[in-house]
Structure formats: structure tokens, C-alpha cells
Amino acid sequence: MKWISILVLFMATTALAKNHVEISKDEIIVKFKPQLMNQFSMSALSMDENISGFLSLATGQPVNDAKVLSKTGNSVVALLKFDQSAGEVESLSTSMQAQNPLIEWAHPNRIYHGEYREGLRASDFNDPKIKEQTHLPQIDAFSALAIQAGRKEVILAVTDDGFDLDHEDLKNIWHVNKKEIPNNGIDDDNNGYVDDVVGWNFAGKNNNPDYGNGHGGHGTHIAGIIAGMPNNGKGIIGVAPGIKVMPLKFYGGGQWTSAIVYETYAYAVANGARIINTSYNVNAMSRDPIYVNAVKLAHDNGVLVFNSAGNSGEKDPERSRLDTYFLVASVAASANEISRDKKSGFSNYGWQIDIAAPGGNIMATAPNDQYVDMSGTSMASPMAAAMAGLIWSQFPNMDARQVTHILTTSVDDIYKKNARYVHGLGFGRINAHKMVDQVADPLQLFIPELQKTRNPVVKSSNNSFTIRFRGSPGAAPRPIGIISVDHQKGSKVRRRMRIQQNINLGTNQISYKYDALPAGQYAIVVPQDSFLDPFGNHMDGDYDGRPGGNLVIPFTVE
């Protein structure tokens, strides 16, 4: 079996090496400012015969074709197709953004060639037995399900390669758009999508996100991990079987575009999803401004986005650059106490990984009423996303930041088994029971570079520290000066520290800078009220497990 695993992993790595990104030669994605509607005296945009001419006026360029990707209030994002004679699209998009007061941003559409699904290592089909779902007792799922199995009002959008909508263990889990009358050929709810009763196929541009043509195994498996039907005498159970899954097919194999991903995320946000799971390789996309804006759209609307950390076994993968989503690492799912919770060999890790979940040999659904083991961070990510669904089901009035705090503090410590990866697997491994029982620890702060030794020493040339959170800050820190570096011998030497970044839902660390210090003994002082958790409690600065207490860390400058 070891030889088989190595061979399959090699094949997956080889496939990923063929991935490449192409800049479209004639397509630009543009976000228009709200003034667009006011200036042209239009109350709405629709896909009609006049839209290309209208947007030609708005952009100052001849638009051959156009498609509205999203419309929020008076803010419109559209995919515009230009004649190639208009010039090179990168320079054209730059000039449009710089010179047109109606345009907030403009970027070329990107085409992603290759294989981007993660976790495609499958074993032979198995008989459906709940005891084969070793991840369930590992995350204390049975205790959680006795309290909360999930509510249908909580919608988790899965963006993937297709779904077996009629699978015996999945047929009742899908979110149904009750505002749409099935198969009448009319956009009844006027959301721009005709007959979108059960999800949408953005890759095929139709209302059928079902599986087929060699695709759908990945999405079907992930849907089963989340919400496989319980107590039906068949197959497996999901970790949050009461929530609803919105099936969004955005990948058809071999080619992917910025526009497809943006439209998929915009649809999920506009149509009620509270959570989005994307178990795909987004390393290249993390540099794509269209993808970044898609994730930002979800983030700014309080929608939590989860993504697989990746299966290359590398530290700090490219996708770590974003902190507007949650990256999920994989640990071993096993009934064996020795191997359980050890980092999966394939899993990426690093400072910006947010949380860990079982991802090795996960038994779940496969097309045609089958069941299969699959391994990868692709399997870990939906498990963590489903935890957010359970939390929102149990505490429906919480906001996204409060859910994030419970998610990231109600975890099990796995670092005794992963000493090489301390802080590299996020806050810990998910624990479903703790999350629905609201066993949330107070917000804590750590400065790893000063706390890894008893008597830390830094160079006088050093002028920054990284503060790592355990939990989610409820708001930005107090004004500059609250966090300070003080001389310990009564000297008036004091340095105010300046925050270097925003605190987003997925932020797990921030950097502070201060003016260089002369040699001597100092302490970083963080008063207890510098950071509050989302429930208004002071941070736990003295690490006693209760809110309150200043954080004081002595160090020496040489």
C-alpha cells in the first residue's frame, strides 16, 4: 500500500506541474462605482441587447459583449469583451481604472489551465459503515450531534466539480431555492439565473450542477463529509447533517477563469450562503486581483470562506498571502492513538494556516450511490467549514467574527504530536462538541520570537515583532501607543508600536514596528484592554484561562 500511495502522490504532483495561467487577450473584469447608475439614469442592469452599447459609453471603449457577474445595490461587476484591436488588455485595464471616474477597479480575466482539485487520491470502494468514519469520534462529533445537528436555515455553498444530486445519502441535503418555479424557463426571483432551483453550473452555464464526463467525484465526496444523511440505514453521516448545501459547479476540468470564480462567489453571497468551501489549489489565484476581490466580497458581507491548505507538504504556500479566508491543514484520521492527529505527510503548513481537521482516509459519498476513502486537505476543509455551520445553527444571532472566535478557540491542542510544526497547523484541531457547547477560551496573544526561550535576546537593528492571536479580535487594537516597548530600569526610553495591517476575519497574526532601541533590557507591554474578543471581553494577558491581565514579555537588546 505504501508503494501505491507514493505512486498516486507522484502522479498528482506531476499533474499539478502542468498548470499554467493565461491572460485573456480580449476580456476585462470591471467593477463600476455606484455613480454609474446615477450618471446614466438607470435603476438596473440586465443582460439585454443594449448592455454592450451602454457599457461602451461607460468605459469609453467599444464593448463587443458583456456579462454582469454581480450587482449589489448600485455597484456592478461585469465581464467585458473588447475587440483585440483595442490594445493589450493589461495596459487597457490599467488606463481604464486610472482615467475613468466611474470605474473602481479593472483587471484582465485570467484563464487557469490544468488540474486544481486537491485530494484526489481514492482507494477502492468500501461498504458503507459508520465505524469506517474514524474522524467522527476524533472530533467528538457524536457528542456534538446530540446537542446540535445543524439547521436548514444555515446554507454552506460548496464550489466544486459537480455533485451526484440523487445520491441515496445526499438527495435531501441540498438547498432549494423556493422562490424559483422548477423548469418553467423563467427567472422567477429575478436574480439573473433561470430555474436555479438547486444550485448552478457556472462552468457549463446552466442550472444543472450534477456530475458527469469524469467530474463530480470530488464535489460529491465533499458534500457527503458535510451533510451526509443520518439514520437512513445507508452509507455514512455528515458532520453537520442538518445544514443545507448549495451545490455550485465552477470547475469543468482543464480550464478555469477568474470570471467564473468571481461569479460563483457573488452568487453564493447574494443567494443566502453563510459559508463557502473551496477545496482547490488557489496558489496562482491568490495573486489574481479578481479572485482576491471575490474573496473580499464574501468577507465584507460576513460570509466565511474556507479553503484547503494544499497537498504539497510545503511551508507557507503561496495562498497564505490572503487573510480574508481560512486555510485548513490536514491531520491523520485514525482509530490508532499513536498516529491520530499527526500532521498528514501531504499537508501544507505555516504561519497563516488557521485550523486543522482530519483529512486522511476520509470515508464519504461517491457518484452512483457509492462510497470511497479519499485523502487530502480537500477533505479537511469542508469539515472545518461544517463546524462554522454547526456554530451558527446553535447560536443563530452571532455575527461572523463571533463564530470565528468560537471556531478557533474551541479546539484540541495537537502540538505535542507535532513538535516540528508548532504554530504551523493553526489554532488546533476542530472539536465539534466544544464548538456547539460554546467552550470558547478567551482571546490570547503570543509573540513567538520572544517566547520560545526563557531569556530572549534581539539585535539592536530589530524593529518589529509579530503578534499571533489565539482566537479572533473583536475590533482593531486601540490607538498607537497602547502597545509599547518599555525600558525596565526606569529610563524614559519607550517606543510606540504601529500596526502594519488590517485585522480581517482570517487574520491570525499582525506585525508591529517601532523605532530601533539602544542596548538594554526592555519589555513589551500589552494592557488587557488593548484587544477585546468579539463578545467584548478583555484578552487573557496572563494566560490563566480567564479574561483580563496585562501581557508583559521581558527581552534584552544587544
- Cα gap 531→399, rounded to integer Å: 18
CATH number for region 20-112:
3.30.70
Give the pLDDT of residue 9: 33
Q: Give the domain 444-557 fold.
A: Immunoglobulin-like (2.60.40)
CATH 3.40.50.200 for domain 121-177+219-436, yes or no, is yes
- Cα gap 368→407, rounded to integer Å: 34
371: helix, strand or coil: strand
- Cα gap 167→156, rounded to integer Å: 18
- Cα gap 476→473, rounded to integer Å: 7
Q: Contact, 286 vs 292, CB < 8 A? A: yes
- Cα gap 241→263, rounded to integer Å: 27
CATH 3.30.70, the chain: domain bounds: 20-112
User: What single-letter amino acid sits at 298?
Assistant: A
User: What single-letter amino acid sits at 3?
Assistant: W
pLDDT in tens, the chain (558 residues): 233 333 333 233 333 346 788 999 889 999 988 877 666 554 444 444 456 766 776 677 788 888 889 887 778 898 998 876 656 888 888 988 888 888 899 999 999 888 777 653 333 223 356 889 999 999 999 999 989 999 999 999 999 999 999 999 999 999 999 999 999 999 999 999 999 999 999 999 999 999 987 789 999 999 999 999 998 889 999 999 999 999 999 998 667 899 999 999 999 999 999 999 999 999 999 999 999 999 999 999 999 999 999 999 999 999 999 999 999 999 999 878 888 999 999 999 998 999 999 999 999 999 999 999 999 999 999 999 999 999 999 999 999 999 999 999 999 999 999 999 998 999 999 999 999 987 678 999 999 888 888 889 988 888 888 888 999 987 666 544 456 777 766 665 666 666 667 788 888 888 888 878 888 888 888 888 888 899 999 999 999 999 999 999 999 998
CATH 3.40.50.200, the chain: domain bounds: 121-177+219-436
- Measured CA to CA in angstroms, residue 470 lies from 108, 339, 446 at distances of 38, 25, 8
DSSP string, 200-260: EETTTTBS--B-BTTB-HHHHHHHHHHHPPPSSSSS---SSTTSEEEEEE---SEEEEHHH
Give the pLDDT of residue 123: 36
DSSP string, 63-128: EEEEEEEEEETTEEEEEEEE-GGG--HHHHHHHHHHH-TTEEEEEEEEEEEE--B---EE------
pLDDT tens for each residue of 248-278? 999 986 678 999 999 999 999 999 999 999 9
Q: Which three cell numbers stand for residue 453?
A: 526561550
CATH 2.60.40.1220, the chain: domain bounds: 444-557
Burial of residue 85 (CB within 10 Å: 0-12, 13-18, 19+) is exposed
